[in-house]
Structure 1
Amino acid sequence: MIVRTLEECQNSARKIESETGTWNSVRMLLKDDNMGFSFHITTIYANTETPIWYQNHLESVYCISGEGEIETVADGKVYPIKPGTLYILDKHDKHLLRGFSEMTMACVFNPPLIGNEVHDKNGAYQLSAEPVTE
């Protein structure tokens, strides 16, 4: 059995700040845990916009708190995000994520992240990062 607290993970190498300053991600479950997916608590900062295109991963995101929106680039559709909203990027959707207020999100990635990934120039995570050490 694996047991971790959010507080433990926030105070370790499992907390990753984006290079753009628009989000942070606390990676509570990673590839080395051998569950077949990774689980993260991500904070999207207020008054930000983040271009994302997960070409190598599928992601589902559940909003715990805060408000914002997601816009799919291909068709320009905009979807509001508020507590209780789940969105699923099942087609490697290129999108813009906007935080109107600070948002706390629970995120699941498949394949699982190793732990230290940040977005590349396309807004994607690469598959070749080095594992996080506690």
Structure 2
Amino acid sequence: MIVRTLQEAEQTERRIVDPNNNWESTRLLLKNDNMGFSFHITTIYEGADFQMHYQNHLESVFCMSGEGEVETLADGKVYPIKPGTVYVLDKHDKHILRASKEMKMACVFNPPIIGNEVHNKDGAYELTADEITD
């Protein structure tokens, strides 16, 4: 059994802060936990407005607090985000995330990340060497 608290994890290397100051993420489950997915609590800072494109991962996001919107770039649709909203990037959707009020999000990634990832120039997380060869 794995038991962790968010408060404890926030005091470790599991807390990652975006170098562009859009978000911070505490990664509660990672690849080395062998669950087949990773689980994060991510804070999107108020005023954040940035593009992502998870080319190597699928992501599901549940908003616990705050307000914002997600825009899918393929079709220009804008979806409001508020507490209780889930959005799922099931097609590696290129998107823009905007926070009008700081948002707390619960995020699940498949495949799981190793823990220190930040977005590359394309807005994606890189695959690890063993994921490339699998």
TM-score range, shorter chain: over 0.9
**1:128 Cα shift?**
2.3
Tell me the residue number matched to 1:123.
Answer: 123
Aligned letter for 1:25? S
Q: Percent identity?
A: 68
Q: What pairs with 1:23-38 in structure 2 (closer than 5 Å)?
A: 23-38=23-38
Stretches of 4+ aligned residues off by more than 4 angstroms = none
Tell me the residue number matched to 1:97.
Answer: 97
CA RMSD of aligned residues (A): 0.8
Aligned pairs, how many? 129
TM-score w.r.t. the length of structure 2 is: 0.95
Tell me the residue number matched to 2:9.
Answer: 9
TM-score w.r.t. the length of structure 1 is: 0.95
Q: Structure 2: which 5+ residue stretches go unaligned?
A: 130-134
Q: What pairs with 1:1-134 in structure 2 (closer than 5 Å)?
A: 1-128=1-128
Taking the aligned partners of 1:128 and 1:28, their CA distance within structure 2 comes to 19
Taking the aligned partners of 1:111 and 1:91, their CA distance within structure 2 comes to 14
SS where residue 67 of structure 1 aligns? Answer: strand
**1:8 Cα shift?**
0.7
